[in-house]
């Protein structure tokens, strides 16, 4: 697969760039959701590895269902991990820290209820 194609005298990006951006955006959302869950339940949610593994598993399941083939799994896992690791980690740790600060400031210990 090439990443560029000549179209009408101009070079345009093929969908691989769009796929990478979509995976990064999905990783941002998934990281935020996992970070909020980890912030509200710090005693039950493990660190970064398990939520990222769940994200990759759901991504692989969606890709293999869409392609109707299991042959896409290695590419999905590698490409999803490469494009999603930094966005997922950034939003995971950011959301987790935000929720932890929110709970310490406005949580049940300060007399307020969530």
Residue 45: give the domain boundaries.
15-104
Residue 12 pairs in a beta bridge with 5
**Each residue of 1-60: pLDDT tens digit?**
444 544 555 555 557 777 788 888 889 999 999 989 888 876 776 678 888 998 999 999
Q: Is residue 91 part of a domain?
A: yes
Q: Is residue 10 part of a domain?
A: no
Q: Is residue 111 part of a domain?
A: no
Number of domains in the chain: 1
**Each residue of 64-73: pLDDT tens digit?**
898 888 888 8
Query: Within 10 Å of residue 21's Cβ, how many Cβ atoms?
Result: 11
pTM of the predicted protein model: 0.71
Query: Within 10 Å of residue 6's Cβ, how many Cβ atoms?
Result: 8
φ/ψ of residue 48, rounded to 5: -75, -35
Cα 80-89-19 angle, rounded to 5 deg:
25
């Amino acid at each position: 697969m090439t990443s560029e194609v000549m179209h009408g005298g101009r070079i345009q990006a093929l969908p691989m760039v769009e796929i990478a951006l979509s995976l990064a955006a999905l990783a941002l959302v998934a990281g935020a959701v996992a970070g909020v869950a980890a912030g509200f339940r710090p005693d039950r949610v493990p660190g970064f590895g398990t939520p990222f593994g769940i994200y990759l598993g759901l991504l692989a399941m969606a890709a293999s269902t869409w392609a109707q083939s299991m042959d896409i799994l290695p590419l999905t896992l590698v490409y999803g991990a490469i494009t999603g690791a930094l966005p997922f980690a950034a939003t995971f740790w950011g959301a987790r820290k935000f929720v932890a600060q929110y709970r310490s400031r406005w949580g049940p210990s300060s007399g307020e209820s969530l």
